[in-house]
A and B are shown apart, each in its own frame.
Chain A
Amino acid sequence: MQAHERVSEAVRTANDEGRAGLVPFITAGYPDAKKFIETLKEVASVGDVVELGIPFSDPMADGMTIQRSSFEALKQGVSLAWIFDRLDEAKSDIDTPLVMMSYLNPLLAFGYDELAERALATGVCAFIVPDLPFEESEEIRKALEAKGLGLIQLVTPATPPERLKKLCDASRGFVYAVTITGITGGDKGLPDDLADYLDSVSEVSELPVCAGFGIRAASDVAAVGEHAAGAIVGSALVEVLERGEDAAGYLKSLQGS
């Protein structure tokens, strides 16, 4: 099985168990870089896939929570190389497939071939790159696919139908359906026409569709779960970690257990 297929399979396994796949997001090294692996293991104990955010100086698609976590992690010296080193030390303890969310420039600076090699060696199965549209993605896609890694495509409510098909076909692991036109960490709740939108993505996609942005409560996960294969929880979880609360407990509460 190729690495990116582990991601699809993890979400499908959750669906087979009669629940939506849960994809928790954490900013690597936040709130405390020394406790990175501990935090990762905690969320991995509940999540079906874990999305690991690589801190960046210009998180232009992110709201205040992820910005704050990103800047703080950078201040503590977190970098892509540092993250891979920590994952290397801990990989035998983490079975949950990992996907990395990074803006393009840190990946570009790291070098795509070395990125793919180290990702494969540390249990990272796929990448989400929020400032990399499909049209600019050929070079990194080739490097990742050479190692069986995936590039997860984002689709949004603003994506026209013909483009939606192209993006779903190109995606690997899952399709990331952004629920709102907006940045991460929104508190306006999920939009009224969410069901139709997620249905339209699920209809086109052969991969599991995971919905993200604005998912904060068990009711959100349940609502999303009716029309998508999985739910991604980012800012709300980062806020739980920020307050020093029980992350695993929070994630379990989202599953309604």
Chain B
Amino acid sequence: MTSLLSPAEADRLLKAAIAGELPDDRGRFGPFGGRYVPETLVPAFERLEEGIREHLHTDEFQSEFVNELKTWVGRPTALTFAPRLSERWGAEVWLKREDLAHTGAHKINNAIGQAILAKKLGAKRVIAETGAGQHGVASAAACARVGLPCTVYMGAVDIERQAPNVDRMRRLGAAVVAVESGDKTLRAAIDEALREWVSDPSGIYYLLGSAVGAHPYPYLVRELHSCIGRESREQMMAQAGGLPDAVFACVGGGSNAIGLFYPMLADDCEIIGVEAGGTGKGLGQNAATLATGTPGVLQGAYTMILQNSDGQVQETHSISAGLDYSGVGPEHAMLQATGRVRYVSAGDEAALEALEELCELEGILTALETSHAFVAARAWAKENPGKRILIGNSGRGDKDMPTLTKYPAKVRTHAST
């Protein structure tokens, strides 16, 4: 187990990734990934893996899934040219509008896909965790759609800062359980969902919301979100006349990012993931797992995590609940180790400014998570003038209003400009 790959190993891994050979039979992306779960859950994970093999790529599943994406989620989501932002940045900026998907973020792709799978696997009920509440809302909606009861675990801290989403989940028929243990954010919510799953491993389907955790979740979640990257490629060719020079997405667990990046790994473009830089570089001040973490095992996978020298997982800080997580998907750890994707971070203040700028120039209130991608994209545009940029606009910011009201807009009204 080591995070350092020789150049030959990095090259071999990247080729395998592009060829669609990862994860391998043991659920590994090179050294990362695997399945570190309690013995009680091992048969449940094996059933899930078998269920994916049996259903995911069949015509029957795919036609049902694609039909739901088209007629219920609203896919393909738009690709929007951002003319005023482009002018200010000195670049050609395009936005992949996952904020326009049903329930307001990319999360719904995975939620409806897994809800259909849960139904096929004969689950009696669904549990899910949520950080920003977007996956909770998506799971609640998807479970209502397929007719399965849904319980969402959410950290008490997140319940407070994402209050509108809590009401939405309940309105959509889900039970929301406040998690008071641990750090009371996404990590504690996942721990609590796992504990519940252990109590009834054969009746419960765990609808995990990011490309994290034990195999096969990182694979399953990537497959269900890959429509983001596939659509983006086609739309860029059709609307922009070519692929982007650089692609940006925010990374918490990394589900929207892997969905956007994965189909573009073989393309001639820079790929940059943006983590939460929080308020500083110190342990506990940010959630920049790939930038400042070390390899370890958290919640089922060997990946990069924020931990102290004793292997205790550290609390994180980010203004955005959806990025506030001490781990990251193992495929991102692999993509960083191979050098194919570069991971940078953006701080709270800069994310707020980027959010305002997008509101001001393009009339889009983006999510605080997503704003982090804009910070890195703007910095890249300054250094690489005149290039074509694609940003994964992963979600809308309506849910962030309780947080945003604490930071009065610095920008003037449009009438005054």
Is the pair B40, A156 in contact by a Cβ cutoff of 8 Å? yes
Taking the complex as formed, is A136 at the interface, i.e. its CB lies under 8 A from any CB of chain B? yes
Min CB distance B148 to A, Å, is: 20
Give the distance to chain B from A44, nearest Cβ to Cβ, in Å.
25
- The number of A-B residue pairs with CB atoms under 8 Å apart is 113
Chain B residues with CB under 8 A of A130: 38-39
With A56-B312, A104-B297, A135-B26 known as contacts, the answer to whether A158 contacts B34 (CB < 8 A) is no
- Min C-beta distance of A185 to chain B, whole Å: 10
Q: Does A148 touch B at the CB level, under 8 Å? A: no
Nearest CB of chain A from residue B177's CB, rounded to whole Å: 14
A229-253 vs B, Cβ < 8 Å mask (1 yes, 0 no): 0000000000000000000000000
A15 contacts which chain B residues (CB < 8 A)? none
Instruction: Tell me, in angstroms, the Cα distance from A136 to B35 when the chains sit together.
Output: 7
Is A114 positioned at the interface, with any CB of B under 8 Å from its CB?
Answer: no
Chain A minimum-CB-distance residue to B194 = A60
User: Complex formed: what's the CA distance from A68 to B22 in Å?
Assistant: 39
- Residues of B within 8 Å of A139, CB to CB, are 1
- A160: chain B residues at CB < 8 Å are 43
Q: Looking at the complex, which one of B39, B300, B311, B313 makes contact with A155 (CB distance below 8 Å)?
A: B39
A58 near B1 with CB under 8 A, answer: no
A76 at the interface (CB under 8 A from B): no
B191 within 8 A of A: yes
Residues of B within 8 A of A106 (CB): 310-312
A121 at the interface (CB under 8 A from B): no
Q: Do A181 and B310 touch (CB < 8 A)?
A: no
Interface hits, A55-70 → B, CB 8 Å:
56-64, 67
Given A58-B187, A67-B181, A181-B198, A108 and B297 contact (CB-CB distance below 8 Å): yes
- Assuming A108-B1, A159-B43, is B313 touching A183 (CB within 8 A)? no
The reply to whether A58 and B313 contact each other, CB–CB distance below 8 Å, is yes
Beta-carbon nearest neighbor of A77 in chain B: B310
Give CA–CA (A132, B187) in the complex, Å.
Answer: 19
- Enumerate A70-90 residues with CB–CB distance to B below 8 Å: 71, 74, 79-81
- Given A67-B181, A133-B42, A158-B43, A58–B199 Cβ distance below 8 Å? no
Q: Does B298 contact A (CB under 8 A)?
A: yes
CA of A167 to CA of B39, assembled, Å: 10
In the complex, B296 has a CB within 8 A of chain A:
yes
B51 in the interface, Cβ–Cβ < 8 Å?
no
Q: Which A residues are in CB contact (< 8 Å) with B305?
A: 105
- Among A61, A79, A130, max chain B CB count under 10 A is at A61
Report whether B310 and A80 are in contact in the complex, using a CB–CB cutoff of 8 Å: yes
In the assembled complex, the Cα of A107 lies from the Cα of B201 at a distance in Å of: 27
Complex Cα distance, B42 from A154, in Å, reads: 11
* Contact A58 B182, beta carbon cutoff 8 Å: yes
A57 to B188, CA, bound (A): 10
**Contacts A60-B191, A158-B201 given: A136-B307 contact, CB under 8 Å?**
no
Beyond A58-B298, A81-B310, A106-B311, is A182–B36 a contact (Cβ under 8 Å)?
no
- CB of A182 within 8 A of CB of B199, answer yes
Per-residue contact bits, chain A 150-193, to B (CB 8 Å; 1 contact, 0 not):
00011110111001000100000000001001110000000000
Check A79–B202 contact: CB distance below 8 A: no
Complex Cα–Cα for A109 and B309 (A)? 7
Q: Contact: B299 with A60, CB < 8 Å?
A: yes
Distance A64 CA – B37 CA, assembled complex (angstroms): 19
Given A109-B309, A181-B199, are A133 and B181 neighbors across the interface (CB < 8 Å)? no
Report Cα–Cα, A60/B313, bound state, in Å. Answer: 13
Interface membership of chain B positions 339-359, coded 1 if the CB is closer than 8 angstroms to chain A and 0 otherwise: 000000000000000000000
Contacting residues, chain A, for B313 (C-beta < 8 A): 57-58, 105
**Which of A112-150 touch B at CB < 8 Å?**
130-133, 135-136, 139
Taking the closest CB of chain A, its distance from the CB of B330, in whole angstroms, is 13
Chain B min CB distance to A50 (Å): 22
Asked whether B160 is an interface residue with its Cβ less than 8 Å from the other chain, the reply is no
The answer to whether B200 has its CB under 8 Å from any CB of chain A is yes
Mark B177-188 against chain A: 1 for CB-CB distance below 8 A, else 0.
000011000010
User: Are the CB atoms of A57 and B182 closer together than 8 Å?
Assistant: yes
B296 touches A108 (CB 8 A): yes
Q: Which residue of A lies closest to B39 (CB)?
A: A154
Contact between chains at B38 and A61 (CB < 8 Å): yes
Q: List 21 A-B contacts (CB under 8 A).
A: A57-B182, A57-B314, A58-B182, A58-B313, A62-B195, A79-B312, A81-B310, A105-B311, A106-B310, A108-B296, A108-B311, A130-B39, A131-B300, A133-B38, A136-B35, A139-B1, A158-B202, A181-B40, A181-B198, A182-B199, A183-B198
Residues of B within 8 A of A (CB): 1, 26, 34-40, 42-44, 181-182, 187, 191, 194-195, 198-202, 296-300, 305, 307, 309-314
Given contacts A61-B195, A158-B202, 19 further A-B contacts (CB under 8 A): A57-B313, A60-B191, A71-B182, A103-B297, A104-B297, A105-B296, A105-B311, A106-B310, A131-B36, A131-B37, A132-B36, A136-B35, A139-B1, A153-B39, A154-B38, A154-B39, A156-B40, A159-B39, A159-B42
